[in-house]
Structure 1
Amino acid sequence: MPASRVSDEEAPEGFGARVRSALAWRWGTQLIAQFITWGSTIIVVRLLDPSDYGLFAMSQVFVTALNFLNGWSFASSLIQADKVGDREIGQVFALLLLTNGMLAAAQLLFAPVVAGYYGQPAVAELLRVQALIFLTIPFTALPTALLARRLEFRSQGIANLISAIFASLTALGLAWAGFGVWALVYAPIAGFGVRGLIMSIAARLWVRPVFNLKGAGRLISFGGALTLCQLFWIVQSQSDIFIAGRLFDTHQLGLYSEALFLTLIVTGRFIPPLNEVAFPAYAELHKSGRSLGPYFQKTVQSVLLVVSPIYIGLALTAPEAIFVIFGPKWVEMAPIVSGLAVVMPLMAVQIICSPTCTSTGKERIYLATSIAGAAIFATSFYIGVQFGPQGLVHAWWIGAPLLLIFTLALTLPQINLSAGRLIGAAIPPAAACAVMAIAVFGVRALLPTDIPAAVTLVALAGAGAATYAGVLLLAWPEVVRSGIAMLRRRPTSPMPPASGPVPVGQTSTIVD
């Protein structure tokens, strides 16, 4: 595979342009696809009951747990590797086929056990059908890694759009036809299948699996370390539903799980695409001898500028937003949404920390933070669940900041970035959100109590958005200009300057 140099001269124009192009396609198409999904989700939520979502959430704990072990990290090892040929690709393909075949079999085997744990026989039937998802993973994971290695995200973006349309139409059709919870089951299966087909064609995946794994030690060790990290991430991300599933009824669990889904839309749907671009970009920068600190600092500020007003705004307007968007039968989840939204900016920063370590081969740091996350969140949820859904919200308030502090303590020294510089990057969005909150509280106090919820929502959202933008423009105009310049792809310092020259003879493996 041909290599390309990331030189000092290329960084601001060549490399920076490739990164921005990748972000535009990966994040831009994700945004469009998410709007399609949101539109169908809002309609489906109105057609289904909270108990349907509670039942689906019970099955999703096991599906998600196995899905994190699907071997995607073996494919990711191709991005970080120095050299990749047909043999390495075939070996990863074989690992993916073996891993996902075993996961599908395990899900079929343990479906009755999971149903017995929750006391809901219907969960077993859901799990048996959802095992089909694992058959699509090898044909999605491997093409994704091959394209990401070259920072080629156009095909992925197109695949995301088409699969989102298929999944949305499936969910809408089944929900409208009265299939209940099965609308939630078959929609992702349709989406995964379509995406796998398109991605395989786009990446020209005409390679045979190589089951002789001789010489694949580095790929397996790197992928195995990330898989182990994902195992602990399972504990962190699924322990709340797992623990609450036996204590809450399906109505309570449905309210909490849907509130969590709503608040994780930005961090769960829009931040991972950034990481998919950041991982190969950071890996190329690292191979070229550059410090990742300035790039990570800029990424944190950019992410917080976007997600902070969204989440704080949602926390401030949750009662009206839930009533208008989801309807009156979902208003009980408004306090849960408000509580979870407050802490989600911290989770956004937490998520974007992982590529800085994995791209440089320091997966042990990622493993340490994953273990810490599992311990902190599982313990917090175990204690908080005794106090109902709000107890789980309070567990998030404790777990998220503790885990972020631990993660930054390990990550920042590795990328030569001080805590002071990182805090300085976070001050503009934090201060603007604080002023925005004061403005929203003030407008709410002035509004009549008998006006429609939609009018209140528009007034509060408008006041908040105007205040946030105004504070940034007045107090930090350079931050706004920098963000606009990046969006317009101007080469005027689009990326922070390199910390040092490229070592002689150092080349990268990403093809232009």
Structure 2
Amino acid sequence: MSFAEQFRGKIREQLSSQFVRNIGWLGSSELILRFVRLGVTVALARLLSPGDYGLAAIVSAVSEFTRVFIDVGVNSKIIQADEAEVEELSNSGYWLNWVVFIGLFLLQCLAAFPISLVYNNSTLIPLICVAGLPYLIWPFSSVKLARIHRDNNLKITAIHNVIQNSLSHVLTIIFALLNFHVWAIVLPWVIAAPVGVYIYWVSHQWRPTSAFTTKHWKEILGFGKNILGVQLLRTLRNNLDYLIVGRFLGIEALGLYYFGFNAGLGISLSVISALGTATFPYLCEVRSDFEKFKQRYFSSLKKIALIIIPLVFLQVSLAPFYVPIVFGQKWVVAIPVLILICLSALPRPFAEAASQLLVASGKPHLVLRWDVLFTTLFIGALMIGVQWQAVGVASAVLIVHLISMPLFTLWATYYTFPHIKQSRA
């Protein structure tokens, strides 16, 4: 066989892998959504004020903190479990989800009152409470989502994302044109949620087959506690800059920062999320085969590099040109923030893949320890950066990511495989 034929064979083999197909579906869905989001962002940038953006940032931060507790271990345990355990875990997880989700809705509503006092804005109370309504229907589809991911059938997730998010974005533009102000961002989340639940409900045959039970709850919560801790710390990091900017620099400054963050990192975060979603089941599928497990991990890193590095540098280089043209002159002041935040995306997907490696190999506690350390460094960097306004905060975000995340990726990679090999020797 000639070298050219061997090369073509390797390319076909790479493109035919389930990981690449999953990334293809998720990536395609994100590409479609980016075009829709572009229209939404342009419309909102011209129709809403920085103050509206600031309020939306606070509501988004609160909702993200609450959503951390959605997966208390149910989804991760179902994906990672042996086949013989899946049915019982699914039934137990279904009823556990109902308890958790209803509790989260009540918790978010209660949290709205002190949060409104902190920011001295009573408008936040109804916004935060309404944003929590989807928790009351998500338990219908949560276990189905886990089963779909366990089957490595992320095509359904991609279709779900396109339909639900496109509907939400279209409604956002309509509501913004009707002068709903910040409600134009909040209401579509709620209205589109039942559509997403329905898609997952009809896309997998699993149905709960037992009455209310607490069996396996301890096992699920024990497995999920480290993952929950990791998600909580990551959500804290993802929103802490919003909270600090809003508290110390004001709602309008937060609006400018929030715009720069979303316009700069929105595309990259979507891609990173797709990569992370695809990596975990891809690794878990072969976790009992050391050589395949190792090969899949390093193959994933190569694919991540080919996707994320060109994307980030292209966006950074074009930012000074497209921001004033697409979004309007009033957002030009946010360009430095946009560029700095966008560059911070470079090490993120590699650290995410390293985290998924540790979880798939049964060591989520190590990811939690890393996240505690990184969050501590992150908070310190933000408190220093806020002295130099929004650009200082964005610079702090970039520096701490560029230094810490590559070190974690290297450590996790070269720690995991020798320990797996030794344990199986």
TM-score between the two structures when normalised by the length of structure 2: 0.89
Stretch of structure 1 that moved more, 32-41 or 242-251: 32-41
Stretch of structure 1 that moved more, 128-137 or 372-381: 128-137
Tell me if structure 1 keeps the 8 A contact 2:385–2:396: yes
Separation in 2, partners of 1:215, 1:342: 43
Tell me if structure 2 keeps the 8 A contact 1:346–1:400: yes
Please give the per-residue CA displacement for 1:230-288, whole angstroms capped at 9, x wherever unaligned.
Answer: 12112222211112221122221111111111222233212222222211110122123
Amino acid across the alignment from 1:411: A
RCO higher in 1 or 2 (8 Å CA, sep ≥ 6)? 1
Instruction: Name whichever structure is richer in helix by fraction.
Output: 2
Amino acid across the alignment from 1:234: T
Report 1:76-475 matches (<5 A).
76-83=76-83, 84-207=85-208, 211-290=212-291, 292-416=293-417
Please give the per-residue CA displacement for 1:334-388, whole angstroms capped at 9, x wherever unaligned.
Answer: 1111222222212232223221111121111211221122111111111211220
Separation in 2, partners of 1:384, 1:376: 12
Separation in 1, partners of 2:141, 2:15: 26
Highest Rg: 1 or 2? 1
Cα displacement (A) at 1:99: 1.1
Separation in 2, partners of 1:232, 1:85: 28
Structure 1 runs not aligned, ≥5 long: 1-11, 418-498, 504-512
Separation in 1, partners of 2:99, 2:217: 15
Q: Which residue of 2 is the match for residue 67 of structure 1?
A: 67
Amino acid across the alignment from 1:360: S
Please give the per-residue CA displacement for 1:386-426, whole angstroms capped at 9, x wherever unaligned.
Answer: 22001101211321023314422431124449xxxxxxxxx
Query: In the alignment, is residue 37 of structure 1 matched against residue 26 of structure 2?
Result: no
The 3 A distance-change label for structure 1 pair 182 and 383 is same
The 3 A distance-change label for structure 1 pair 15 and 55 is closer
Cα displacement (A) at 1:16: 5.4
Tell me if structure 2 keeps the 8 A contact 1:235–1:378: no
Separation in 1, partners of 2:236, 2:160: 30
Separation in 2, partners of 1:387, 1:208: 57
Structure 2 SS opposite 1:264: helix
Separation in 2, partners of 1:219, 1:351: 22
The 3 A distance-change label for structure 1 pair 72 and 162 is farther
Separation in 1, partners of 2:354, 2:226: 16
Tell me if structure 2 keeps the 8 A contact 1:91–1:210: no
The 3 A distance-change label for structure 1 pair 369 and 251 is same
Q: Which residue of 1 is the match for residue 56 of structure 2?
A: 56
Cα displacement (A) at 1:211: 4.0
Please give the per-residue CA displacement for 1:198-228, whole angstroms capped at 9, x wherever unaligned.
Answer: 1111123421575432344432222222111
Amino acid across the alignment from 1:235: L
Structure 2 SS opposite 1:285: coil
Separation in 2, partners of 1:407, 1:140: 34
Please give the per-residue CA displacement for 1:301-340, whole angstroms capped at 9, x wherever unaligned.
Answer: 3222222222223323322221011111211101111222
Structure 2 SS opposite 1:270: helix
Please give the per-residue CA displacement for 1:35-90, whole angstroms capped at 9, x wherever unaligned.
Answer: 22332332232221221111111222221111111126421210001133432111
Q: Which residue of 2 is the match for residue 467 of structure 1?
A: none
Cα displacement (A) at 1:117: 0.6
Tell me if structure 2 keeps the 8 A contact 1:71–1:100: no
Structure 2 SS opposite 1:344: coil
Stretch of structure 1 that moved more, 352-361 or 25-34: 25-34
Separation in 1, partners of 2:45, 2:241: 22
Amino acid across the alignment from 2:17: A
Structure 2 SS opposite 1:129: helix
Tell me if structure 2 keeps the 8 A contact 1:86–1:207: no
CA-atom RMSD in angstroms? 2.4
Tell me if structure 2 keeps the 8 A contact 1:266–1:307: no
Cα displacement (A) at 1:28: 2.0
Structure 2 runs not aligned, ≥5 long: 1-11
Separation in 1, partners of 2:205, 2:30: 22
Query: In the alignment, is residue 46 of structure 1 matched against residue 38 of structure 2?
Result: no
Please give the per-residue CA displacement for 1:463-500, whole angstroms capped at 9, x wherever unaligned.
Answer: xxxxxxxxxxxxxxxxxxxxxxxxxxxxxxxxxxxx99
Separation in 2, partners of 1:139, 1:373: 35
Separation in 2, partners of 1:295, 1:38: 34
Separation in 1, partners of 2:341, 2:414: 30
Separation in 2, partners of 1:65, 1:257: 17
Q: Which residue of 2 is the match for residue 427 of structure 1?
A: none
Stretch of structure 1 that moved more, 56-65 or 263-272: 263-272
Tell me if structure 2 keeps the 8 A contact 1:74–1:92: yes
Separation in 2, partners of 1:193, 1:288: 40
How many equivalent pairs are there? 409
The 3 A distance-change label for structure 1 pair 67 and 20 is same
The 3 A distance-change label for structure 1 pair 402 and 139 is farther
